[in-house]
Amino acid sequence: MMGRSGARELEISFAGESLTHFGGLFLLHRFVQRLGLRSLLAQRVRFTQRNSRYAVSESLLAWLYPMVLGLGRIETARVLQYNGVFQYLTGLPTYPDPQTLRRFLLRFAEAGLLPFLRVHDQLRQQLWPPRPTLTLDLDTSVLTVYGRQERAAVGYHPKKRGRRSYLAWLCTEAETGEIWEASSHPGNAHAATISRAQLDRAFAKIPPTVRAVRVRADSAFYDRAIIELLESLAVKYTIVAKLTQRLKAKVASLRYTRVSSGVWAADFRYHPHGWPGPRRFIAIRRPVKEEPSYQLTLWRLGNYTYPVIVTNLPLQPLNLWRFYNGRAGAELVIREMKEGYALGNIPTGRWAANVAYFQIIVFGYNLLHWFQRLCVPPEWSRLTLSTLRQRLLLIPAELVRPHGRAILRMPHSYPHQAAFRDTLRRITHLTLS
């Protein structure tokens, strides 16, 4: 019976066995199949497990799919244990419980992480669109720790001083927004001391087709050793300077030229203390009322703010400043990883397992980016990952089998049917090198 106030008599049943609100997982799983990811993992990442119910590749997919779907903590992902459509699409016998996943993570960290990283590198190289110029953005992010985690330490924390943390080191590729290299460290690590090894790995992945490499970084990377490494590799760099008292005095004494409305610049040579020689610096002066450049280290003098950049790029000051501001995309990567991939939710108390978890998140982030760049309609290529999830992945659906034929039935009112079908067509015709 239906009245103006709504349904008064409604029968409740718990008989549904093939319902899901992740109907769009079908698209993602087809993309994973097109990549041959399960086979790659099965062939390359091999080690003995105590729990023989799940293959290594199945356990990795059990970690990856909830991350990409935005389920966050593995306790939240338990809902997939009751999701028959998820199990049918992925081929998993059931979804593992959180304790099983945590035990797998520790064993994977010990015996499977390195081959997994090689699989990641292989797919990145295979899917990256070749171009002669490569721009890499460097950044770090503090991950607050709330329990008893190994190697968590007190370091620089911009929001919670004195809290123990981990430090995420990220190198992103500017054009695609995908992560080129990443690593996890104790919270008291400094970018200047850990970057040499990370940059060596990042540069080793650069294809021979790339003729010029440019690096952008904030003041955490303002270090003589990093500058000399980049120069020795003929890499062009744009790095925000740490404003020492000596550099502040220099900046205050400069003569500035107006380069745009509300923007003045000074181009000068400066020899930092302890460095082998002078470098080119650019100082930008803007009125305090103006919005500051994104994530630049600012110094205020009177009614002006002064970001200062060290560089070996032969650009005019205004163009150089605008080029650096493009690094804002790196900050968005970290925000998406924290908000959409539960980067800050440390799953275990063991350091090795947490490092492995971090690398699985990085892979899951790139996996959805590859899906977006290669498969979705072009007009959706710049959507945030959360919006992409809402439009294509989080779709209510029912798996039915009339006459033995499996059909994934979605709502007639679903507003993005054309985009869904277009994405499926693109996956089907995707050509991999």
For residue 16, the model assigns a pLDDT of 59
Judge whether residue 61 has pLDDT over 70. Answer: yes
The residue with greater pLDDT, 30 or 432, is 30
Cα separation, 329 vs 390, whole angstroms: 21
Secondary structure (DSSP) of 139-193: EEEEEE--S--TT-EE---SSSTT-EEEEEEEEEETTT--EEEEEEEETT--HHH
- How many CB atoms are closer than 10 A to CB 391? 19
Report the range of poorest mean pLDDT among 133-137, 149-153, 388-392: 149-153
∠ CA 255-257-261 to the nearest 5 degrees?
140
For residue 290, the model assigns a pLDDT of 54
- CA-to-CA separations, 15 to 19, 56, 81, 82, in angstroms, rounded: 10, 32, 16, 12
pTM recorded for the entire structure: 0.91
Give the three-state DSSP class for 137.
strand
Report the range of poorest mean pLDDT among 179-183, 284-288, 345-349: 345-349
By the 8 A CB rule, do 84 and 95 touch?
A: no
pLDDT tens sequence across 188-201? 999 889 999 999 99
Cα separation, 219 vs 241, whole angstroms: 5
Which among 346, 369, 339, 344 has a CA at the least distance from the CA of 105?
A: 346
For residue 35, the model assigns a pLDDT of 96
Write out the two tokens for 304.
């002006």
**Element at 286 (helix H, strand E):** strand 279-287
Judge whether residue 429 has pLDDT over 90. Answer: yes
| Sheet of strand 397-400: strand arrangement | 19-20, 397-400, 407-409
Write out the two tokens for 38.
């399960």
Give the confidence band of 1 by pLDDT, cuts at 50, 70, 90: very low
Which among 106, 100, 73, 50 has a CA at the least distance from the CA of 349?
A: 106
Query: 95: left (phi > 0), else alpha (psi -120 to 50), else beta?
Result: beta
Give the domain ranges of the chain. 18-117+347-428, 239-325
For residue 208, the model assigns a pLDDT of 92
The residue with greater pLDDT, 365 or 49, is 365
The residue with greater pLDDT, 9 or 31, is 31
pLDDT tens sequence across 270-300? 999 999 999 999 999 999 875 544 445 678 8
For residue 294, the model assigns a pLDDT of 46
Give the mean pLDDT of 211-226: 95
Cα separation, 77 vs 63, whole angstroms: 9
Report the range of poorest mean pLDDT among 37-46, 77-86, 180-189, 295-304: 295-304
